[in-house]
Amino acid sequence: MSSRGGGRSARTRPQRLARRRAETQGFDRGGSRRSIFRSKWLLIGFGIVGTVALVVPLVLIGGNSGPAVDPNQPPPVRRTVTEPTDIGAVEGKPLFDAPPAMTLDDGVDYRAVIELEDGVVEIDLFEDDAPIHVNNFVFLAEQGFYDELTFHRIVPDFVAQAGDPTATGTGGAGYTLPDEQVGGDIAERLTLDATGVISMARSGLGASSSQFFITLQPAGFLDTQTFTAFGTVTSGLELLEAFEPRDPAAQPPAPAGPKIVSISIERATPATQTEE
């Protein structure tokens, strides 16, 4: 057969339509093989763009998670927060306007029992030779003023000092105690030149209040400063001698010293002394 239409195949029109339908079967609605390839590459393009859109922010977030580190700079100092040191201060202790009125009974022997966490210290009080100081100590003890306070100043081979609610060496009971007027034989009996003697601490003449100290070695050189001894330890001195040193002015502050659980007062009459 001869060709027609400028080289068109000799197939009839129905044959050509049938062939085209066969070629385009199974592809998109565009009706040609080229259209499906366009759709395929378009979908691939959208997929790449979407992936980049998700990855780039993640990269930026990861890259900006912290400041840049300069290798030439020292590492930052990490500061740790520590709890303040418990120095043994006790709040809520009463403050009095004046020294206590004299309430000692005649003919009664007064003794103090200091209960520590590790044992008991017993003290014979000199109510006849130093009644002002003994009366003051008895009053504060029976008010519970000394309960839970600590020995805030401990100097080995010298003294152990207590009676300050602030545990700093500056606190008291709110008043100042007048000096004891002693002389002659009484002054000799009230010497601090012995171990285990109890006396009131003070910041100056006539400035005693609630703080007291107990000698751990003879301290006769204090006699010239008119400190008044008002008792002596009869048992438990070894507990005081075992105390660790403590300076209330130390920096950083020293931990709390040994605690006084309580101080109780015992009274003995000549009759009870005979029974003992």
**CA 148 to mean position of chain CA atoms:** 18
Could you read off the pLDDT of 208-263 as tens digits, one per residue?
A: 899 999 999 999 999 888 788 999 999 999 999 999 999 999 999 999 999 999 99
- Taking alpha carbons only, the member of 232, 229, 239, 228 closest to residue 261 is 239
Give per-residue pLDDT as tens, 163-185. Answer: 999 999 999 999 998 888 887 88
Q: Which helix (H) or strand (E) holds 202?
A: strand 197-202
Contact 81, 227 (CB under 8 A): no
Mean pLDDT score of the chain: 81
> Tens digits of per-residue pLDDT, 80-106?
666 789 999 999 999 999 999 999 999
Which CATH number is 109-270's, of 3.30.70.20, 2.40.100.10, 2.60.120.260, 3.30.1490.20? 2.40.100.10
Contact 163, 263 (CB under 8 A): no
- Please check whether residue 168 is in contact with residue 219, taking contact to mean a CB–CB distance below 8 angstroms: no
| Contact of 241 with 133, CB cutoff 8 Å | no
Each domain of the chain, given as residue ranges in start order, spans 13-60, 109-270
User: Model's pTM, two decimal places?
Assistant: 0.69
